[in-house]
Amino acid sequence: MEKKTLTAIIAIVILIAVFTAVFVYYSKELEKSQHFTFKGVNSDYTFDIVRLEGVKGLFYKTFIYVTYDNNEKYKIYITFKNDPRELDDISFEDSNSILYNEANKKDKIYITQDLDLPNLSQKTSTVAAMDITKVTYGLANVFIYNIPTESAYTNLTQDLIDRGINQITCKNADKTAGVILIKIGSENRIYKENDNCVVLEAKTYDDITRVTDRFIMNIIGIF
């Protein structure tokens, strides 16, 4: 065997060994950190780092307690796409006022966005609206706030008008109806347009998920 060929083989073997060692090291580190505690506003939250079947990437799962009208307390699990420790760069105003009219819950919540945003974001904004709905209303008979929540758009085609889709902006928000507006803007932030409308502004389409997770964590009391 020629010397150059042997040297090349040795180099490849070394590279494979280094790659394997690095992979094993980080896998072990991940195994060590399957759980972490995050200090919330009023209490600590335990997050599990999990993988979901058929979905790429890691997810962050925690739980809250919800008390229903029968005074029974239930443990509800919520899964996020982002680590709460990595969302500090998103500025926010407290948004609970869009859920309540003083001591009473709103009659309805609208989650609205520009008509083109779902396609431009490759459905990221649609998934974000669904994730919010799981908390503001509920999913599969598991309710957190149990406020009827409906998707809407800030602008409509005649076809959508004929189908009864609602055209909603922050101007439609009032004491009985809260509005959540998802939009692309100049920074990642959560702010109130008025007392009954909150804006989730993201710099990029990928950031929509980060801003949405921060918003949900806010309204359930983590931030």
As given in the structure block, the two tokens for residue 60 are 């962050």
Helix (H, G, I), strand (E, B) or coil at 210: helix
Cβ-Cβ contacts under 8 Å for 158 (sequence gap 6 or more): none
Q: Say what the pLDDT of residue 96 is.
A: 76
What is the rounded distance in angstroms from the CA atom of residue 192 to the CA atom of residue 98? 9
Are 181 and 199 in contact, with CB atoms under 8 Å apart? yes
Q: Say what the pLDDT of residue 114 is.
A: 97
Among 46, 73, 75, 74, CA closest to 61: 46
Q: Say what the pLDDT of residue 19 is.
A: 54
pTM recorded for the entire structure: 0.82
Q: For residues 139, 192, 160 and 204, what is the CA-based torsion angle, rounded to 10 degrees?
A: -80
Cβ-Cβ contacts under 8 Å for 145 (sequence gap 6 or more): 99, 105, 135, 136, 137, 138, 219
Which residue positions in the chain have pLDDT lower than 70? 1-33
Q: Say what the pLDDT of residue 25 is.
A: 47
Cβ-Cβ contacts under 8 Å for 102 (sequence gap 6 or more): none
Q: Say what the pLDDT of residue 28 is.
A: 47
What is the rounded distance in angstroms from the CA atom of residue 86 to the CA atom of residue 90? 9
Q: Say what the pLDDT of residue 11 is.
A: 52
What is the rounded distance in angstroms from the CA atom of residue 168 to the CA atom of residue 159? 16
What is the rounded distance in angstroms from the CA atom of residue 181 to the CA atom of residue 71? 33
Q: Where are the beta strands (DSSP E) in the chain?
A: 35-39, 44-50, 59-67, 73-80, 91-92, 100-101, 104-105, 108-113, 138-139, 142-143, 149-153, 177-184, 189-194, 197-202
Q: Say what the pLDDT of residue 3 is.
A: 54
Angle at 47 between CA 41 and CA 49, to 5 degrees: 150
pLDDT in tens, 36-69: 999 988 899 999 999 988 888 899 999 998 887 7
